[in-house]
């Protein structure tokens, strides 16, 4: 059960960070930031977070075909 709690905590933290990165990315785009490298870094981080969130959800809620 401790594992499940750790996964849930990590999932919560990752979702929170994903939302923060998304907000920052939208802000950079809205301001027409010329720093494309910074925008790319945020996009890569956001994608990594999304992949990790999907992975953790697949552990918690496996797709069982009956």
pLDDT per residue as tens digits for the range 18-54: 999 999 999 998 988 788 999 999 999 999 999 999 9
Q: What is the pLDDT of residue 62?
A: 87
Q: Is the pTM of this model over 0.75?
A: yes
The answer to whether the beta carbons of residues 58 and 26 sit under 8 Å apart is: no
Res. 65 pLDDT band, cuts 50 70 90: confident
The answer to whether the beta carbons of residues 53 and 14 sit under 8 Å apart is: yes
The answer to whether the beta carbons of residues 8 and 60 sit under 8 Å apart is: yes
Residue 66 has pLDDT above 80, yes or no: no
Res. 6 pLDDT band, cuts 50 70 90: very high
């Amino acid at each position: 059960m401790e594992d499940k709690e750790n996964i849930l905590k990590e999932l919560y933290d990752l979702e929170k960070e994903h939302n923060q990165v998304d907000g920052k990315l939208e802000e950079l785009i809205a301001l027409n930031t010329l720093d494309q490298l910074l925008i790319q870094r945020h996009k890569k981080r956001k994608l990594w977070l999304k992949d990790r969130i999907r992975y953790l959800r697949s552990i918690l809620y496996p797709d069982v075909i009956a």
